[in-house]
Structure 1
Amino acid sequence: MMRSTKLIVSGLTFTLLLIMAVPNATAADNLVQISKGNRVAYIGNAMADRMQHHAWLETYIHAMYPQHQLTFRNLGFTGDEVKTRPRSASFGNPDQWLSKVQADIVFGFFGYNEALRGEAGLPGFTKDLATMIDGMKGQKYNGQSAPQLVLFSPIAHENLHSPHLPDGTANNKNLALYTAAMAKVCQAKGVPFVDLFNPSKQLYQNARLPLTMNGIHLLEHGNKAVAESAIAAMFPSADTIAQDDQELERLRQIVLDKNLFWFSRYRVVDGYNVFGGRSRLAWDNVSNADVMQREMEIFDVMTANRDKRVWSAAKGGDLAVDDDNLPSVVKVEANKQSKFQRGLGDYLAGKKAIEKMKVAKGMKVNLFASEEMFPEMINPVQMAVDTDGRLFASVWPSYPHWNPTQPRTDRIVCLPDENRDGIADKCVIFADKLNSVTGFEFWGGGVLVAAPPEIWFLKDTDGDDKADVKIRMLQGLSSADTHHSANAFVIGPDGGLYWSRGIFNVANMETPTKTYRSTRSGVHRFDPRTFEISFHFPIGPNPHGDVFDQWGFQFANDGTSGTGSYVNIGKGLGNRQWFRKRVRPVAATGILSSTHFPEKNNGNFLICNCIGFLGVLQHEVKYDGAQITAEEVEPILVSSDPNFRPTDIEVGGDGAIYVSDWANALIGHMQHNMRDPNRDHAHGRIYRVTYKGRPLVKPFKMKGQPIESVLPAFLINVNGIRYRARLELSGRDTKEATQKVAQWASQLNPQDATQAQALLECLWVFEEHRVPNMQ
C-alpha cells in the first residue's frame, strides 16, 4: 500500500489516498501497467499542457518507479478537443507526434472544451471519443504494440467567489455529464478512466487556499493536489514512495528542467520558419528547414540527456548532464556582406551613432543606455514605464528564437535614472531566462508579459525589483511567427489588455466560459480580471503599434504596410486609414504628451520605422468632431546609420522621448536565414530626445503610495502620468479604490472643462475594476 503521508496536502487528500489504496492489491490492480523503459505521452487540453510546467504527476510516478527509467513527453495543447486540434501549418498531426515520441502509454485529458457545448453536444462527444479510442488502439506508436491508453476527466470548475468570474454552477453541470459519458465510453471500450471531476470538487471544499487561478486552470499547489488524487486512483498497489518532501522537490525541479527543453522543442517559436511555409526559403542552398530541423534534433538529444539525470535523481543520485553528444549545427554563410559584418568591422558606438542622426528643430538626443554601459542591453524590442516613472525594456538577444546551445538571456530590465541626468544609473534584471519576449505592460501590481505561446503575470513582492511571482496567466498564443504573435501591449481605458497579432498564427485558448480560436490578423483583447478573450479589430497582415489618445480613441497600425486605422470608426464600418502612409515597415507607434515639449508637439502621433527611413516620424493630429486625421510634420529624428532600427517609443517619467534601438545590420525573418551570422546579438541602445531650454516633467511616484496620493495625477495634463495612475490603481483592492475614487471625484466640478479629463479618468477606474458607478 502506498505511504500516503508523503503525498498529503490536506485532510481530504489523505482520506482519498486511504480509500483508494487497496489492501493487498497487486500490480494487476493498477490502472496502468508500468514496465521498465516505458515512454509516456500526455495529450489533451490545458490540463495536460499545464501538467508539464508543474510536473507533479510525472514526479510522483518517477518516485514510485525509480528503477524503471521512464520517459515522459508532453504533447498537450491548450484548447484541444478529442476531434478538434488546430495547429499552424505543417506542425504535424497527433498520431505523427505520438509516433515520434514512441509512446507506449498515453495519458489523455479531454472534456473541458467539449462540455462547453452543453447537453446538446454529448452525442457527438461520445461518438468522437469512441472513434478516437478505436483509432489509437489500432496504432503502434512504439513500432511494436498498441499503446496503453488512460483517459482523465476534466476537473471541476472552482468557485472563487469573485464578482468577475462565474461561480462554476453552469460549467459543473455540464462537466458532470461529460465525465459520466467518458466513464461510460471507457468502460465499453476497456480503457482505464480516471475521474478528476468529483475528487477535485471535494478538494476545493477542503482547501485553505484557492487551487485554481480562474476557476478552471490549476495553480502549482492545485496541480499537486489533483496529481495526488490521480496517483491514488491509478496505482492502488504502488510501492511506498521513499523520498521525503525535500527529495521530491529536488526531483521535480530536475523534471522541470528536462520539460523546459522538450517544451521549447515541441512548442518551438517561429514554427512557420522551422517546419512551415518559410522553412523552405534557402540561401546558398541552405534552407531554414536544414538549419532549424538540426536544432530540433539538438533539442531532442538535450532532452534525452536530461532524462538520464531524472532517472538518477529518482534513485537519489545526482548525475551531471553531459551534452557532449549533440549533433553538429548546420553552417550558414552570411547572406549580406557589408562593412558592418561581424569580423569585418564594428558597429558605431552608442554615442558615436548620434552623429548620424538628424533631430527636429529645438530638440537634442543623448544616449540613455547601451550595451557598452550594461551588457544586458542587447536588442531591446519594447519599453514601458512603471508607476514610479522608471523605464523598463524587454531585450531579445536570442532573436529569432533561443538556440538551445546558448544561455537563455531574453530578459526584462529596469533602467532607473534617480539622479535625473538623462542617463540610466544601473540595469536591474527584473525577469531573466525568458523566451522571445514580444511585449509587456504593467497591470495589477505586476507585469503582463508575452513570451509566446504564453502570457505571464510577473510580480515583485519584496521590493528588490526582481520578479518573484511568476504565473502562466494565458496559454495558447500561437508561436508560429514570434514577432507577430503578440506585440504592442497596451491597457485600454476599459482595463482590457490589447495586443496585435499577425499572419501564420493559430490561437487556441480556454476561458471560464468558452474556447477561443482565431487565425485572424488584428488587435485582440484579453480581460485579466475575467480571463475572457475576444477579437477586437481587423488590421493586417502584421499589425504593430496600438495607442489610445487622452479621450480613449484608439489607433492601430499595420507593420508590414505601414498603414494606420482609427479603430473607433473602423470597427464594424471597415478599416479606415487616418493618415497618409509614407514609410514601412512600422515597428511601433505612440502619442507625444509631455509639458516638456512645446504645444505644437503635444498630442502628435509618432511612428517608429525600421527599414528605409530609419527614425521616428511625427504627425499632427486634427480633431473635427468624429473626423480624426493626422498629417505628417517634421520627423522627431532620422538616422543615416544603416544599423539604427527603432523598435519602440515611450514618453518617460521625465517627459522626454525614449527610443529603443534594435541595433542590427539584419532585420526580419524571411529576408535572411534564421541563423545568418550577420544577425547581431551584441548591441542595443535606448536614446533620449529632449527639447532645449524647457524644464523636464516633475517626477510623480505612485508605486505603493496611498490612493489619496495617486488621485491628483488625474489632474496633470500628461497622458502617461494619468495612464500610470490607472495602472497603479488596477493593483489595489477594488472596494477601497472605487470608494476613494468616487469620494475624490465628488469634489470635481463637471462644469469645469479643466476637470473633465479627471472625471473621465475616474470613470475609467470604475470600468477597469468592473464596478458600475451609479452616481
Structure 2
Amino acid sequence: MRRFAFSIFTLLFFFATLQQVQAQTLDLPQAARIAVIGNNLADRMQHQGWLESYIQAIYPKHKVSFRHLGFTGDEINVRPRSNNFGSADQWLTKVQADVVFCFFGYNEALKGPDYLPALKQNLATMIDGMLEQRYNGESAPMVVIFSPIAHEDHKSPHLPNGEANNQNLAAATTTMSEVCNAKDVHFVDIFTPSISLYKTADKPLTLNGVHLLDHGADAVAKVIIERLFGVNASQMAKRSHIERIREAVLERNYYWFSRYRVVDGYNVYGGRSTLNWFGQSNADVMKREMEIFDGMTSNRDELIWASANGNDFTVKDDNLPDELVVKTNKPGSLTGGVHPYLKGADAISKMTIAKGMKVNLFASEAEFPELINPVQMCVDPNGVLYASVWPSYPHWNPRQPRTDRILAFPDHDADGKADECVVFADKLNSITGIEFWGGGMLVAAPPEIWFLKDTDGDMMADEKIRMLQGVSSADTHHSANAFVIGPDGGLYWSRGIFNVANMETPTQTYRSTASGVYRFDPRTFEMDFIFPIGPNPHGDVFDQWGFQFANDGTGGTGSYVNIGKGTGNKPWFKKRVRPVAATGILSSSHFPKANNGNFLICNVIGFQGVLQHEVKYDGADITAEEIEPILYSSDPTFRPSDIEVGGDGALYVSDWSNALIGHMQHNMRDPNRDAQHGRIYRVTYEGRPLVKHPQMIGAPVADILPSFLLPDNGIRYRARLELSGRDAKTTLAAVVKWADTLNPADSVQALKSSPIVEIAPEVGFSSPTVRYESNATSALKAMNAGLGPPMSEPNGAGT
C-alpha cells in the first residue's frame, strides 16, 4: 500500500468549500454519439480505452459511438491549433455529437487561485455556448463536465509532491461544481475519489503525478461509470469481456487518432494544402484520404458493438471510396515515368571518397526489405547500430500497412556488414527522432514522444509508454528531430515552423510556436525552449566539452549555442550548401588526428554528400573551416539523412535513397515518392585498426566506468546513456569509489571531471557533495585556467 501525501489544510479547504453536485444518472439515448473534449486526461483516454469499454458493456444494444477530440494543453477558452485545423464547434458538428464529455480544469488550476473567477466565467460561457448548438442537426447536446484528477505524490526527488497543485485543483473542482449546479448540467467529481485511489494503490497510477497510466485510467474509469451511470464495475461482465471490447475500441481509436491528429496537417488542410500540380491540390488528394479514414473508423464501430454483444465480426473495409490518382511532376526515364535506382553496392561507384577512406555497403533494402527511407540512427551501449525508417513519408496511407519502424542491425562477425535486421519497434507513425536513455529508447512519433524498452534481451521493445504528448505534427518535415542527450541529462531536439506545441507537465502548461532547439527532461517531465534557430533546424550536436552547435536545415547555417540560454547565436562556419538533413562530430580512434573532432554535415540537394569541417578552438571562440568532404555522390537518388560513429569506430551514413525529396516540391502522394529503397553505408580509414566497443548493457557499474577514460566521444556518451537507467544511489557510490582511484596528473581536465560532470546528470543526482555544472561552464573555467582542449587535437582521439 502506498501512502499519498496530502496536506490537512488542503483537505479542510476542499471539503469545507466543495458543494458537490451529485451526478444524476446519465441515460444515454439509442445510437448516442459521444464526443470527448479536454486536456491530457481526455487525450490519453483514447489510447487507454477503459471508459468507453465499460460504457459499451453497460449499453450493448444501444450502438453508442465515441469520437475523441481531446488535445493535450487545452483549456476551456485556450485551444491552440495549427493553421486551419478547425474550431471546437466545427469538429463537434462534424462528429454530430449528441453528448459531450468535457475534461478541463488541470491547466486552469495551474494558474492559481487568482484565476478562479475567470475559470468560473469561462466554464459558464462554454456551457451556454454548447447548449445553443445543434451539433447533431436536431437538438442541443447533453453536456457532462468532469473535474481534474488529483496530483499523485511519487515520492520522487525529480517530481513535485503535488501539495501545491492539489490545493489549486481542489479549488478548481469546487468552482466547476458550482457552475454546473447553477447551469443544471451533469458534473462528475473525480478529484476526490482519485485521492482515495492513490492511497490504496500498490503502485503509482500516474506516469509523473498528473498523467494516468493504463491501470490508473482503468481505476478512474470505474469511478466515472459508478458516479455517472450508477453501475459498480465489480458487478459488471467478466473481465475478459471488457478486455475484448477494449481491444475493439483501441483498434477503432487507432484509425480515428490518425485522422483527427493527422500528421502534416499544414499540407492536408493548412497553408500548403492549396499547392497544386496539373489542377490537383494536396487538399484534393488528402480530403479523399480523410474520407477513407472516416470510413475505416465507422467500420470499427461495428466491431465494437459486436464485441459488446459477445459476437464475432470481421471488418471488411469494402465500402471505402477510391484514392485519387496523382500524376507525378517529376517523371523518370523508365517506363511509366519511373526513376532508375542503382543497387546499393553499385551506387558506391558514383561516390567521390576522401583520401585514405573507403566505403562499403553495410545494409540495404536488398538484404533487409524493412530498411526503407532511414531517417535517424543511434548506437546502443553495446555498440549495435539502430535506425528509424519512414516508408509512410509524408504520412501513413490508411490503405497501406503501417511499416514505420525502428530497426537494429547487429554485425555479429564484425565484418562491416549487418548480419540481421531486428525490428525493435513497429506500427509507429512518422518516426522523426530516436535516442537511447533510461534503459530504453526515447522516440519521436509526432505528436508524441514514446519510451520504448526491451525487457527480455531480444532487442525488441516490450514496454511502450507515452512520455510526452502535444509535440505537434503539423509538418513532420520540421517536427522533433536530431535527438541527443545533452551533458545535463536532458533530451534535446530541433523543431521548425508551422508546428504548434501544446504540452502539460507537473508544473506548467507549455506552449510554443517557435523554431529552434527544445529540451525535455525525462525525469521531471519539464519542457523548455533553449535556442532560436530556423526556420527549420536539423542537426544538433555537443562536442566533448559540452559546447552545443545547432544547424538550420533550410538555410544550411549553423550556430554556436553560447553559454546562457539562447544568447549568442553566433555562426561558426561559412555556409556553402543547403538543405542540411543532419550534422555530427567525428570522434573515433579508428580515424587519424586530421579527421578527429571534425564537424560533419549531411546535405541532400545539389551537393549530395557529407561535408567535413576542421574545428578550431581559440579560448572560448570556436570556428569550423571546410576541408575535404568525407564523400559525395553523383547519383541523384543519394540523400544522406544521418551520420553516426558506430561501435567499431567506423562512420555510418544513412541514405534516404529517393529521387524526390521535400514536402512542398511535389504532391503529397506523388507516385514517384519512393518507398522501396534505403541504405546504410560504412566509411572506414584504410590501414587503421577498428575500435573494440565495451559491452555495457547489464554490466556492473564498475566495469562501465573505465569507458569514461577512452578517447572516443561516442563510447563515453553511451556509457552515460547506459548509466541513466541504473539505480542512482548505487551508481553514484561506485562513481565516487572509482574517482578516488584516478590520478589527476595523468588525465585531461575533461576526463578528470567526467565521473561527476558526465555521470551525475544521467542518474539524476544532485547534492552539496556531488554537484553538476554544465560541461560548457566547466570547459570555460578550464580554458581560463590553461587546461582547455588542445588546439591540435580537441578530442584526444587518433594519432
Match of 1:219 in 2: 213
Q: Does 1:88 align with 2:76?
A: no
Match in the other structure for 1:609: 603
- Asked whether the 8 Å contact 1:545–1:589 carries over to 2, the reply is yes
1:238 deviation in Å?
A: 8.2
Residue of structure 1 in register with 2:139 after alignment: 145
Within 5 Å, give how 1:421-570 maps onto structure 2.
421-569=415-563
308, 311, 314: which one aligns with 2:305? 311
For 2:376, which of 361, 378, 382 is the aligned residue? 382
1:74 matched to 2:87? The reply is no
Cα distance change on mapping 1:455 and 1:131 into 2, 3 Å: same
**Separation of aligned partners in 1, 2:335 and 2:619:** 52
1:769 shift after superposition: 2.7
Find the counterpart in structure 1 of residue 348 from structure 2: 354
* SS of equivalent residue, structure 1 residue 320: coil
- Larger displacement relative to structure 2 (329-338 or 407-416): 329-338
Shift of 1:568: 2.0
Aligned to 1:765: 759
Q: 2:225 aligns with which of 231, 235, 238?
A: 231
Q: Identify which of 582, 587, 592 aligns with 2:586.
A: 592
Structure 2 CA distance for partners of 1:770 and 1:606, relative to 1, 3 Å: same
Match of 1:208 among 177, 186, 202: 202
Query: Is structure 2 residue 362 aligned with structure 1 residue 368?
Result: yes
Is 1:104 equivalent to 2:90 in the alignment? no
Letter matched to residue 527 of structure 1: D
Aligned equivalent of 2:409 = 415
- Matched-pair contact (CA < 8 Å) for 1:30–1:237: no
Is 1:385–1:653's contact at 8 Å kept on the other side of the alignment?
Answer: yes
SS at the partner of 1:269? coil
Alignment of 1:106-125 (within 5 A): 106-125=100-119
Letter matched to residue 599 of structure 2: F
Cα displacement (A) at 1:362: 0.3
Q: Which residue of 2 aligns with 1:64?
A: 58
The Cα of 1:226 is off from its aligned counterpart by 0.4
Q: Deviations over 1:478-511 (max 9, x none)?
A: 1000121100000000000000000000000000
Q: Secondary structure at the match of 1:535?
A: strand
What does the per-residue CA deviation read over 1:49-95, in whole Å, with 9 as the maximum and x for residues that have no partner?
00000010000000010000011000000000001000000000000
| CA deviation after TM superposition for structure 1 residue 699, in Å | 2.1
The equivalent residue for 1:288 is 282
Aligned: 1:638 with 2:615: no
Q: 1:570 to 1:162 in 2, by over 3 A?
A: closer
Structure 2 stretches lacking a partner, 5+ long: 1-21, 771-799
Structure 1 counterpart of 2:775: none
* Matching residue's letter, 2:505: T
Q: Measure how far apart 1:337 and its partner are.
A: 1.6
Structure 2 residue corresponding to 1:275, chosen from 236, 250, 269: 269
For the Cα contact (< 8 Å) 1:158–1:212, is it kept in 2?
Answer: yes
Aligned AA for 2:376?
Q
Aligned partner of 1:731 in structure 2 is 725
In structure 2, distance between residues paired with 1:385 and 1:342: 40
8 A contact 1:29–1:236 mirrored in 2: no
**Are residue 395 (structure 1) and residue 389 (structure 2) matched?**
yes
Instruction: Write the letter of the residue equivalent to 1:131.
Output: T
Select 1:647's aligned residue among 641, 648, 662.
Answer: 641
CA–CA separation in structure 2 for the residues paired with 1:340 and 1:171:
64
Q: Distance in 2 between matches of 1:344 and 1:528?
A: 45
TM-score, length basis structure 1: 0.95
Q: 2:25 aligns with which of 28, 31, 53?
A: 31
Q: Which ranges of structure 1 fall in alignment gaps of 5 or more residues?
A: 1-27
- Specify whether residues 158 and 238 from structure 1 end up closer, same or farther in structure 2 by C-alpha distance, changes over 3 A only: closer
Q: How far apart in 2 are the matches of 1:159 and 1:464? A: 34
Relative to structure 1, the CA distance from residue 282 to residue 761 in structure 2 (aligned partners, 3 Å threshold; closer, same or farther) is farther
**Residue of structure 2 equivalent to 1:623:** 617
Contact (CA 8 Å) 1:715, 1:755: kept in 2 or not?
no
Taking a change above 3 Å as real, the CA distance of residues 240 and 118 of structure 1, as seen in their structure-2 partners, is closer
Q: Between Structure 1 and Structure 2, how many residues are aligned?
A: 750
1:713 partnered with 2:724 = no
Does the 8 Å CA contact 2:447/2:469 hold for their aligned counterparts? yes
Work out the CA distance in 1 between the residues paired with 2:147 and 2:634. 61
Aligned counterparts, 1:184-199, within 5 A: 184-199=178-193
Distance 1:258 1:140, change over 3 A: same
| C-alpha distance in 2 between matches for 1:756 and 1:587 | 30
Which position in structure 1 is the counterpart of 2:676?
Answer: 682
In the other structure, the counterpart of 1:743 is 737
Q: 1:9 maps to which residue? A: none
Matched to 1:652, the amino acid is G
SS of structure 1 residue aligned to 2:570: coil
Query: Does the 8 Å CA contact 1:394/1:412 hold for their aligned counterparts?
Result: yes
Residues in 1 aligned to 2:744 and 2:521: alpha-carbon distance in whole angstroms = 30
* Distance change >3 Å, CA 685–CA 237, structure 1 → 2: closer
Shift of 1:745: 1.2
Structure 1 counterpart of 2:517, one-letter code: V
Contact kept? 1:474, 1:509, Cα under 8 Å: yes
Q: Following TM superposition, by how much is the alpha carbon of 1:701 offset from its aligned partner in structure 2, in angstroms? A: 1.1
In the TM superposition, residue 738 of structure 1 has moved relative to its aligned partner by 1.1
Q: Provide the C-alpha distance between the structure 1 equivalents of 2:752 and 2:370, rounded to a whole number of angstroms.
A: 39
| Structure 2 counterpart of 1:14 | none
SS in 1 for 2:450: strand
Counterpart amino acid of residue 431 in structure 2: V
1:299 to 293, 299, 315: 293
Offset at residue 751 of structure 1 (A): 3.7
Aligned to 2:7: none
SS of the residue corresponding to residue 753 of structure 2 reads helix
Tell me, yes or no, if structure 1 residue 53 matches structure 2 residue 47: yes
Amino acid at match of 2:643: I
Q: 1:227 and 1:694, CA in 2 relative to 1: closer, same or farther beyond 3 A?
A: same
Q: CA shift at 1:750, angstroms?
A: 3.1
Relative to structure 2, which stretch is displaced further, 649-658 or 764-773?
764-773
Assess if the C-alpha contact under 8 Å between 2:744 and 2:752 holds in 1.
no
Matched, 1:247 2:247: no
Alpha-carbon distance, 1:31 to partner: 3.2
Verify the 8 A CA contact 1:294 1:330 in the aligned structure 2: yes
Moved more, 237-246 or 695-704: 237-246
For 1:29 and 1:752, the matched residues in 2 are separated by 72
Task: Say which of 680, 685, 694 aligns to 2:688.
Answer: 694
| Pair 609,37 (structure 1): closer, same or farther in 2 beyond 3 Å | same
Distance 1:571 1:235 in 2: 51
1:126 has 2:86 as partner: no
Q: What's the secondary structure of 2:611's corresponding residue? A: strand
- The answer as to whether partners of 1:492 and 1:498 remain within 8 angstroms in 2 is yes
Q: Distance in 1 between matches of 2:334 and 2:466?
A: 40
Partner residue in 1 for 2:9? none
Instruction: Find the counterpart in structure 1 of residue 399 from structure 2.
Output: 405
SS in 1 for 2:312: coil
Contact 1:309 1:319 in 2 (8 A): yes
How far off is 1:772 after superposition? 2.6
Question: Is the CA contact (8 Å cut-off) linking 1:749 and 1:755 kept in structure 2?
Answer: no
Return the alpha-carbon distance in structure 1 between the equivalents of residues 764 and 743 of structure 2: 24
CA contact (8 A) 2:332 2:340 kept: no
- What is the match of residue 180 of structure 1? 174
What SS is found at the alignment partner of 2:77? coil
Could you give the per-residue CA deviations for residues 23-65 of structure 1, whole angstroms, max 9, x where no partner exists?
A: xxxxx98532211111000000000000000010000000010
